[in-house]
Amino acid sequence: MQSIEVIAPRYDIAWYPWAVQYFFLVALSYTSLWLAFPGTVLGLERWKPVARLALVAAVTTAIVAPVSLLADLHQPLRFWHFYAYFTPWSWMSIGSVFLPLFVLLTVALAWLVWREPMKAWRGPGLVGGVARIVTLGDWTSPRWSVVLTGLGAFAASIVVAVYTGYEIAVIKGRPLWHTDFLPVMFVATGLIGSTGLLLVLDRFTGTRAAELRAMGRAASRSRATSRQLLMVLLIACVLAGITAALWFAVGLGNRDPSVAAALDSVQDNPDWRAMTFRAIATGGLLFLGVLVLLLRPQIRGLAWVFGLLALHTAWMFRWAVLMNVQTVQRQTAGFSEYHLAMGSGGLLGIVGSFGLWLAVLMLIDIFVPWRAALGGAGEPAVSPDPKGVPSHG
């Protein structure tokens, strides 16, 4: 049978790039919190440099993620309906309770950790004034409060990881989403993204340079932070690879219809084929790059480039899953076209949420001595002049 659908109605996508931004940022946030966990909550000395970076990453992304989520609602001012009509059988409603809890606990954890070095910044001027207000007194953050808040944030982060995955995986109306492998893949690619982000932050906030200066050139190859981050990144790559391979294998055994749906899409559409090859190539390049960096410490100065590639991988995975899958028609012929709009529902929204993240990062960098947290050496170039803004050269 050969047939033509004479007039194929086009069904627009219903979730916009804001959704990609949310799923990307929130995954960076909860996986960053996990990376901060050993140094912050368990107090492992070796993991404290990673924890310092991870805490910044977790807090900044946790603050921006819900903004993107809110923007994806068509009625954002009705957000309070989530709390007025709590619906425990809906994953999204469960998320609406645990997401603010996660954000709150993550910010609280960072506050408890950061207020210690911040106390030294109290004084005149804007930065000193903010430090005076934010530290809320001269008391020392008790260890138990850090541990309890950290454990709470960790518990909430698990729920956020599970709900963001199953919110999508539960939808049988889109066969490509309806697989238990998707939540695992979200976590694995999230971890890829967050280690990538930490490598980039490590390079551009100057923590790497400062640590290398302190260690001396000879010892620089044995720097633990780079090795730890690259190792986690490698493990995350392997986890993502195994998950994808298992998904494919189970699907070939006809036990996961999402694989059949994926093969259909790839066969029907040259764009999907190109996307699949790009994804496999990017994943392979990332894995090999990280492996080489682990084996050859002398070129670890390039780690941030692979950090960017890791971020790209995590973001593109979410773009493919959330946006491209929406263009697969469910009962009419063809693919529905999607063109990225220029306005706030499209490109401006993507750039804007990254801009907001950058703004939050800069504000924290200006007002919080996060480098000195958890026994860090702090700012090498902090200006004693309270009117001056600390410079991190």
In the window 106-165, what residues touch another protein (CB under 8 A)?
none
Question: In the structure encoding, which two tokens stand for residue 99, read together?
Answer: 């997401």
The verdict on 255 binding another protein (CB under 8 A) reads no
90 or 145, CB closer to another protein? 90
The verdict on 295 binding another protein (CB under 8 A) reads no
254 or 331, CB closer to another protein? 331
CB 237, CB 280: distance < 8 Å = no
In the window 8-47, what residues touch another protein (CB under 8 A)?
8-12, 14-16
User: Which residues are CB-neighbours of 270 under 8 A, at least 6 positions away?
Assistant: none
Half-sphere exposure of 258 (CA within 13 A, CB side): 23
CB 103, CB 63: distance < 8 Å = yes
Residue 117, judged by CB atoms within 10 A of its CB (0-12, 13-18, 19+), counts as: buried
Q: Tell me the window of 2-10, 51-59, 119-127, 148-156 that interacts with another protein (CB under 8 A).
A: 2-10
84 or 136, CB closer to another protein? 84
User: Which residues are CB-neighbours of 392 under 8 A, at least 6 positions away?
Assistant: 205, 206, 365, 371, 379, 381
CB 239, CB 290: distance < 8 Å = no
Question: In the structure encoding, which two tokens stand for residue 345, read together?
Answer: 């529902």
Considering only 43, 93, 122, 132, the residue that binds another protein (CB under 8 A) is 93
Considering only 45, 90, 219, 362, the residue that binds another protein (CB under 8 A) is 90
45 or 268, CB closer to another protein? 268
Backbone φ and ψ for 210, nearest 5 degrees, come out as -65, -45
176 or 191, CB closer to another protein? 176
The verdict on 263 binding another protein (CB under 8 A) reads no
CB 68, CB 354: distance < 8 Å = no
The verdict on 333 binding another protein (CB under 8 A) reads yes
Residue written as tokens 């790839």?
266
CB of 5 to another protein, least distance (A): 4
Q: What is the CA radius of gyration of the chain?
A: 22
Considering only 27, 53, 159, 170, the residue that binds another protein (CB under 8 A) is 170
The verdict on 279 binding another protein (CB under 8 A) reads no
Report d(CA 314, CA 322) in Å as an integer. Answer: 12
In the window 49-88, what residues touch another protein (CB under 8 A)?
72-75, 78-88
Considering only 4, 133, 218, 295, the residue that binds another protein (CB under 8 A) is 4
What are the residues binding another protein (CB under 8 A)? 1-12, 14-16, 72-75, 78-94, 96, 166-167, 170-174, 326, 329-334, 337-339, 341, 345
